[in-house]
Structure 1
Amino acid sequence: MARMPSADRRRQLIEAAIRAMTRDGVSRTTTRSIAAEAGVSLSVFHYCFDSKQALLESVITTITDHSVSLVKEAIRPKATLRETIRAGFQAYWDHVSAHPGEHMLTYELTQYALRQTGFAQLARRQYELYSDTLTELIEQLSHSMEFELRVPVPVLARYLAVMIDGLTLNFLVLGDETAASDILDTVADQVVGLVHDGVVPVVPGAVSPPRSA
């Protein structure tokens, strides 16, 4: 077996775990089956992760990163704030549409953690991660487009986390792309409505209209 830096080996095992759990379910996926999926020995798995709980936390973080990296790229400032926000939502939604099994896995991970003794904090950390990630994205956008919100950033982040979580599950159950798109349009409008009056987002290279008195 070729030697590989431990960080790369961990990533290999995490991605193997995501594939195996998406295919077979969390409860039926064992450390042995993950090692087999990754093409490594069981001893390599235990060298990289000291527990299944540690692996599951890394799986949750990695799945979140898969879509967040796309959103970060999508929310580079555009002509309007609304257009920029909507592009971010679309980037996330394109990932949901392309990888529904991966997103379904996130709900299974939540249920698994809540039902397993000693794992409840994993579900809590999962949902804290969603809010923390959205807080970071909102702060990134408010800095780049120079606007202020009517509500605290953590409040908006938690609201968006709840909305996205519910919308994703609704889509996984009903499969209605049109309804999801309409809802994301509405939420984008709501977010723009939370920007203070008279605060005009600045887009580099664009000519901004005069601010109202």
Structure 2
Amino acid sequence: MGYLTAAERHSRIVEAATQVIARDGLAAATTRRIADEAQVNLASLHYSFKGKGEIYAAVDDALRTRIINSSPESAQAHSCQEIVRSLIGRFQNLLRTERELAIAQYELLLWALRTKHKEQHAADSYQAFISAFADELARAVDLEDRDVTLLARYAVGAIDGIYMQNLAAGTGGVSEPELDAISRAIVDIADSVQPRT
């Protein structure tokens, strides 16, 4: 293998770690296994990352960025309900097309919650989703005085419930009519919690 820049090596290691975690589970993602998958020596891996924890956090960041950027709202006008529906749809798409990555995301979240000094990473991960989704909701044609952060929080909560239930059941998400009803309910709940003036 030819020379890799630091950025190329970093990217290769994160991609390899993602593959190992998705295919074999977090427990199997040792630094040696990740280095082998990335086709880099262990010294190079340790030069790029201080340890497994830093690699796991980088994988979580990469997966989150991939989902957030997967199909952001277009410039076309959409309602809050349509945007919430689109947000849920992104996760359903991952659930249907890359189930192993969906499971890897939860493994990484639970790892962060159970690892000393990594708990904040879990909170930051959720906050990044909420902030990105709030930014999209801020462009809604019917926004008026709705609280986009509240809407985004409820959307993320619904996504988690749908995601985990369908991962456990081995199904691919909810039906189109259910998706419509759930997205409408999220907007209605947010409106009832924070009445518009």
Bin the TM-score by the shorter chain.
0.7 to 0.9
**Distance apart, 1:19 and its partner CA:** 0.7
- Distance in 2 (CA, whole Å) between partners of 1:119 and 1:90 is 29
Q: Secondary structure at the match of 1:40?
A: coil
Structure 2 segments unaligned to the other structure (5+ residues): 192-197
Which residue in 1 is equivalent to 2:16? 16
Task: Tell me whether 1:163 sits opposite 2:163 in the alignment.
Answer: no
The answer to whether the Cα contact below 8 Å between 1:171 and 1:180 also exists between their aligned partners in 2 is: no
- Distance in 1 (CA, whole Å) between partners of 2:83 and 2:132 is 17
Which residue in 1 is equivalent to 2:98? 99
The answer to whether the Cα contact below 8 Å between 2:21 and 2:29 also exists between their aligned partners in 1 is: yes
Which residue in 2 is equivalent to 1:186? 181
How many residues align? The count is: 190
The answer to whether the Cα contact below 8 Å between 1:150 and 1:194 also exists between their aligned partners in 2 is: no
- Distance in 2 (CA, whole Å) between partners of 1:79 and 1:137 is 11
Which residue in 1 is equivalent to 2:127? 128
Equivalent position to 1:76, from 74, 77, 95: 74
Which residue in 1 is equivalent to 2:5? 5
Which residue in 2 is equivalent to 1:40? 40
Q: Cα deviation per residue 1:131-181 (whole Å; 9 max; x = unaligned)? A: 222223223x33xxx442443211111111111111111110123446354
| Higher deviation after alignment, 115-124 or 163-172 | 115-124
- Distance in 2 (CA, whole Å) between partners of 1:148 and 1:83 is 12
- Distance in 1 (CA, whole Å) between partners of 2:24 and 2:41 is 20
TM-score (norm 2): 0.82
Q: Secondary structure at the match of 1:47?
A: helix
Q: Residue type matched to 2:180 in 1?
A: D
Q: Secondary structure at the match of 1:118?
A: coil
Task: Tell me whether 1:172 sits opposite 2:170 in the alignment.
Answer: no
The answer to whether the Cα contact below 8 Å between 2:94 and 2:101 also exists between their aligned partners in 1 is: no
Q: Pairwise CA RMSD of aligned residues? A: 2.6
| Higher deviation after alignment, 175-184 or 16-25 | 175-184
Q: Residue type matched to 1:50 in 2?
A: K
Q: Which has the higher contact order (CA 8 A, sep 6+)?
A: 2
**Distance apart, 1:192 and its partner CA:** 6.0
Which residue in 2 is equivalent to 1:153? 148
- Distance in 2 (CA, whole Å) between partners of 1:53 and 1:110 is 12
Task: Tell me whether 1:31 sits opposite 2:31 in the alignment.
Answer: yes
The answer to whether the Cα contact below 8 Å between 1:77 and 1:84 also exists between their aligned partners in 2 is: no
Q: Residue type matched to 2:136 in 1?
A: L
TM-score (norm 1): 0.76
